[in-house]
Structure 1
Amino acid sequence: MDIVRALRIVSIAEATSFLVLLLIAMPVKYMGDQPAGVQVMGPLHGVLFLAYVGMVLVGRGQLGWDLKRTVLALIAGVLPVAPFFVERHWLKPIETARAAA
């Protein structure tokens, strides 16, 4: 699988897991006294976050990203919806251009 496509998938999955953790699992844990959601989503999000960071670092050369863009992509990983931005505005155009070529 192409690094761009793989990073797009991981980016979407990481951002989605972060939102589920913040908006569903944590409120249910603290307001409903049901920690099961966090016990499942926490580790899942952690693995996806590490995959996102690893793929950004490994793929930056193939993506043609300079240090600034790489650091911004890494910072995006700790913001709840920013990986959606990375996927939509930085990765999708690269994949679309490659598919057209």
Structure 2
Amino acid sequence: MDTALQHLTDQINTAAAQRTPLRIRGGGSKDFYGEAPQGELLDTKAYHGIVSYEPSELVVTVRAGTPLAELEAALAEKGQCLAFEPPRFGSVNGSCGGMVAAGLSGP
């Protein structure tokens, strides 16, 4: 297990044992969305990267902390793009995990 994943796992296990809430956050682009964030910060930025990408199959697997810009750049190199338009909130670069977690896929 890589160190970023081990750190997240340890933090989650500790919070579960102590019965304390976690505030999951990647790029922070949706901190304004929904209720006010509460709990200890669980930062996913260190858990990033494209795990696998098969352009001919149109399949890509990324880690939660992967910036959307990084994913979109990798897809663009092969003439591909996301099949939806994740919203951009200000100048903050959102993460793939945040996009999925918030359920925001654009117009």
TM-score under structure 1 normalisation? 0.30
If asked which structure has higher relative contact order (CA below 8 Å, sep 6+), I would say 1
Q: Give the number of the structure whose residues are more often strand, by fraction.
A: 2
